[in-house]
């Protein structure tokens, strides 16, 4: 759909710049999911309600609106409210163990991976409530996972597999940072935001020439930044 929009002269945000299964953070996942719709919700609902200053309250209203936008259903409302609960541990964890303070500690990545595993379980449960088996069905699944021997073995296996997956996600990002790809992405993203701001102020839709030029600028920025970074340069770790 974005391709057709670009051909029609409309530059819409690219959805899911990473695969949906390559997102260890619930907050980052929802910022990338359906980004054009997300930007509208943030601009007209989240920010007017206080934004990051009242993050949980603003998120509660946003997810409730999204649920009602899908359909008037109690299961979708339950999904929305559970999604807000999913955000709570991550928000608390970021405030108690910030990466800027503890990011270089050897244990930090493992603790963060365990938090990612908990995030995955909570998001899966919330989606099962809203779109598959409902609240009663999820309660039954968890009762079988916790109260039976086979269920506990399965739960342990899932924790191990998801923990390994989380470690791979973080290693993938660390390798991007070592190669300079992450800094290139940030630079291109900032340039794109400045370009959109200028286009918005001038009220001029993008043309096919502008689109091709933007693609070329992105490629040049990626190549230039990657070539100017030392292979072992690890100034920090990307948060995304």
Mean pLDDT, the chain, as a whole number?
76
| Cβ neighbours of residue 144 closer than 8 Å, sequence gap 6 or more | 151
Band the pLDDT of 21: cuts 50, 70, 90.
confident
Averaged pLDDT for residues 138-164 = 93
Whole-number pLDDT of residue 144 = 93
pTM above 0.85, yes or no: no
* Among 54-63, 112-121, 129-138, 149-158, the range of highest mean pLDDT: 149-158
Q: Which two tokens stand for residue 76?
A: 């979708």
Averaged pLDDT for residues 7-17 = 78
Whole-number pLDDT of residue 216 = 44
Residue 234 has pLDDT above 80, yes or no: no
Q: What is the pLDDT of residues 109-125, one digit of tens each?
A: 899 899 889 988 998 89
Q: Which of 34, 70, 110, 224 is catalytic?
A: 70
Q: Which of 4-18, 57-71, 187-201 has the lowest mean pLDDT?
A: 187-201
Averaged pLDDT for residues 141-157 = 93
How far apart, in whole angstroms, are the C-alpha atoms of residue 240 and residue 127? Answer: 22
Q: Which two tokens stand for residue 101?
A: 């303070």
Distance of CA 228 to the CA centre of its chain: 28
Helices (H), 8-107: 26-32, 35-41, 55-70, 74-96, 99-102
How far apart, in whole angstroms, are the C-alpha atoms of residue 180 and residue 230? Answer: 8
Whole-number pLDDT of residue 236 = 38
Band the pLDDT of 10: cuts 50, 70, 90.
confident
Residue 150 has pLDDT above 90, yes or no: yes
Query: What is the C-alpha radius of gyration for the chain, rounded to an integer number of angstroms?
Result: 20
Q: What is the pLDDT of residues 160-219, one digit of tens each?
A: 999 999 999 888 888 878 887 766 555 555 555 554 555 455 544 444 444 444 444 444
Q: Any idea of the CA torsion for 23, 88, 160, 124, to the nearest 10 degrees? A: -70
Place of tokens 């938090």: 115
How far apart, in whole angstroms, are the C-alpha atoms of residue 183 and residue 174? Answer: 12
Q: Which two tokens stand for residue 46?
A: 């989240």
Whole-number pLDDT of residue 157 = 95
What single-letter DSSP state applies at residue 17? S
Whole-number pLDDT of residue 159 = 94
How many residues in total does the chain contain? 240
Residue 143 has pLDDT above 90, yes or no: yes
Residue 27 has pLDDT above 50, yes or no: yes
More confident residue, 86 or 203: 86
Could you confirm whether 203 is annotated as catalytic? no
């Amino acid at each position: 759909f974005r391709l057709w929009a670009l051909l029609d002269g409309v530059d819409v945000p690219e959805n899911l710049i990473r695969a949906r299964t390559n997102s260890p953070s619930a907050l980052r996942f929802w910022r990338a999911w359906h980004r054009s719709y997300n930007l509208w919700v943030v601009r007209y609902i989240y920010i007017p309600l206080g934004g990051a200053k009242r993050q949980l309250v603003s998120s509660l209203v946003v997810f409730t609106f999204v649920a009602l936008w899908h359909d008037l259903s109690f299961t979708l409302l339950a999904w929305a409210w559970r999604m807000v609960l999913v955000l709570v541990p991550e928000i608390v964890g970021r405030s108690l163990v910030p990466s800027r303070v503890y990011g270089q500690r050897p244990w930090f990545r493992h603790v963060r991976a365990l938090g990612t595993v908990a995030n995955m379980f909570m998001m899966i449960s919330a989606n099962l409530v809203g779109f598959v088996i409902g609240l009663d069905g999820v309660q039954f699944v968890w009762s079988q996972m916790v109260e039976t021997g086979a269920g506990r073995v399965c739960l342990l296996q899932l924790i191990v597999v998801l923990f390994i997956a989380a470690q791979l996600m973080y290693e993938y990002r660390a390798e991007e940072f070592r190669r300079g790809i992450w800094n290139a992405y940030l630079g291109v993203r900032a340039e794109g935001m400045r370009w959109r701001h200028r286009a918005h102020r001038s009220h001029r839709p993008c043309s096919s020439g502008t689109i091709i030029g933007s693609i070329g600028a992105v490629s040049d920025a990626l190549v230039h930044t990657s070539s100017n970074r030392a292979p072992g340069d690890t100034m920090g770790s990307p948060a995304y």
